[in-house]
Amino acid sequence: METSYQPNEAVLAKLPQVTFVAVVGPTAAGKTTLMNAAAARCPALHPVVSTTTRAPREGERDGEDFHFRTREEMEQRTAAGEYVVLVSAASNGELYASAAEDYAAEGISLMPVMADVVPAFRKLPFKVVRTIFILPPSWDEWQKRIEQHGFAPEVLEKRMQEAGRSLRFAIDDQNIIFVINDDLAQSTLDFTQAALGAESYTNQYTSRDLAAQLLKELQNR
């Protein structure tokens, strides 16, 4: 994260209207899948489309998956303080950011967020900030999902390092709302309830134990 970055006053003035849900979890846990399924189910939920300097991947569309912009464009907006939060990816140096206009003033804004950046979001003057952590149901199922992504070895290693930080954060943070991504229909319902601020069906104590088990397996692999 760019620790020196500060949004301008106009951006900060818009945030008290926004209820924001940070969607966190290890790689291949299904964050985007659940987020989009919940948004399709519930009109009050609005995914935030972030901006990035990286090139589109196969099948990605500008304005739907990301706003794809040049580094020059993003640096100009960064200098003007026009983003809410700015992140420089440790893996490749690409910039990622979200602009105030991408958050819904009504309903609830959802965005996948790295665990490292959650504290920065919590410091901002949003109306409400919730943090939902998506867990795979088991180590074996998680590994199957990772294999399906076909990550290159060097990319996978960086993803797993980030997954370790993410799981440690979830285990230690008492404000996390866990959702286990097992059965899609039930998990979507759990996610929707949690995003709306209702009680989740997921057992939070059992989920924290699962996160600890996944971290242990990750460290021992």
Instruction: Answer for the pair 68, 215: CB distance below 8 angstroms, yes or no.
Output: no
Q: Where in the chain is the domain with CATH 3.40.50.300?
A: 19-46+107-221
Residue count of the chain, please give it: 221
Chain Cα centroid distance, residue 46 = 13
**What was the pLDDT predicted at 26?**
97
Q: Does domain 19-46+107-221 have CATH number 3.40.190.10?
A: no
Fold of the domain built from segment(s) 49-102: Guanylate Kinase phosphate binding domain (3.30.63)
Q: What is the pLDDT of residues 32-73, one digit of tens each?
A: 999 999 999 999 999 999 999 999 988 999 999 999 999 999
Q: Where in the chain is the domain with CATH 3.30.63.10?
A: 49-102
**What was the pLDDT predicted at 93?**
85
Q: What is the pLDDT of residues 141-191, one digit of tens each?
A: 999 999 999 999 998 999 999 999 999 999 999 999 999 999 999 999 999
Q: Tell me 84's DSSP state.
A: E
Rg (C-alpha) for the chain, rounded Å, is: 17
pLDDT band, residue 201 (cuts 50/70/90): low
Q: What is the pLDDT of residues 115-145, one digit of tens each?
A: 999 999 999 999 999 999 999 999 999 999 9
**What was the pLDDT predicted at 91?**
67
CB count in 10 Å sphere of residue 144? 12
Instruction: Answer for the pair 120, 6: CB distance below 8 angstroms, yes or no.
Output: no
CB count in 10 Å sphere of residue 179? 31
The pair of three-digit structure tokens given for residue 43, joined into one six-digit string: 């009109």
